[in-house]
Structure formats: structure tokens, C-alpha cells
Amino acid sequence: MQLINATRDEILKPLQVVSGIVERRHTLAILANLLFKKTGPSISFVSTDIEIQITTKANFGVGSDDVTTTVGARKILDILRALPEG
């Protein structure tokens, strides 16, 4: 199932915005994750540190499925940065 159709840089921009408040060490492990919520072509990226919540949206989703999941912020950023540009 394909959920996103975008270049590396298109995905990195919103992720870098929301990952700014994610710390490496948390007493609550879920706070090290980013929330991905896809509704049609719109994708929301959300992060929080309990006091502050940052949300950004992008329109590069594909398919009609609505999907919500979390992924480790540092891990997804490291993977995307390792990909070739373009």
C-alpha cells in the first residue's frame, strides 16, 4: 500500500518542523515519536513534548485510505537524510 508520493526534500521539510521539539530521552516513549495522520491527499505531522504541540500539513498523500500511525522521529529523519536527493 502506497501512502505518500513525494521527493525526499518534500517529506523532510514538514518533518524537520515538527521534530524540533522531540527530545532523545523521554520518560514517556511515545513522545519520541511523530504522529502521521493521512486523510485522502492530506497528511498531518504532529509532535508534542506535553507542553507544546506542533502540527504541519502537506498534500502528497496517495490513495483513498485513511491511515494514522506513529514513527520514531529520529529514526525516520535519519532514514530520509540517508536517501539520495531528489
Helix (H, G, I), strand (E, B) or coil at 9: helix
Is 11 in contact with 79 (CB distance < 8 Å)? Answer: no
Spatial strand order of the sheet with 53-58 comes to 53-58, 42-48, 33-39, 67-72
Enumerate the domain spans of the chain. Answer: 8-82
> Which superfamily, per CATH, for 8-82?
DNA Polymerase III, subunit A, domain 2 (3.10.150.10)
**pLDDT block averages, 10 residues each, the chain of length 86:** 82 90 81 92 92 92 87 92 86
pLDDT at 1: 64
pLDDT at 47: 94
Three cell numbers written together for 26: 523521554
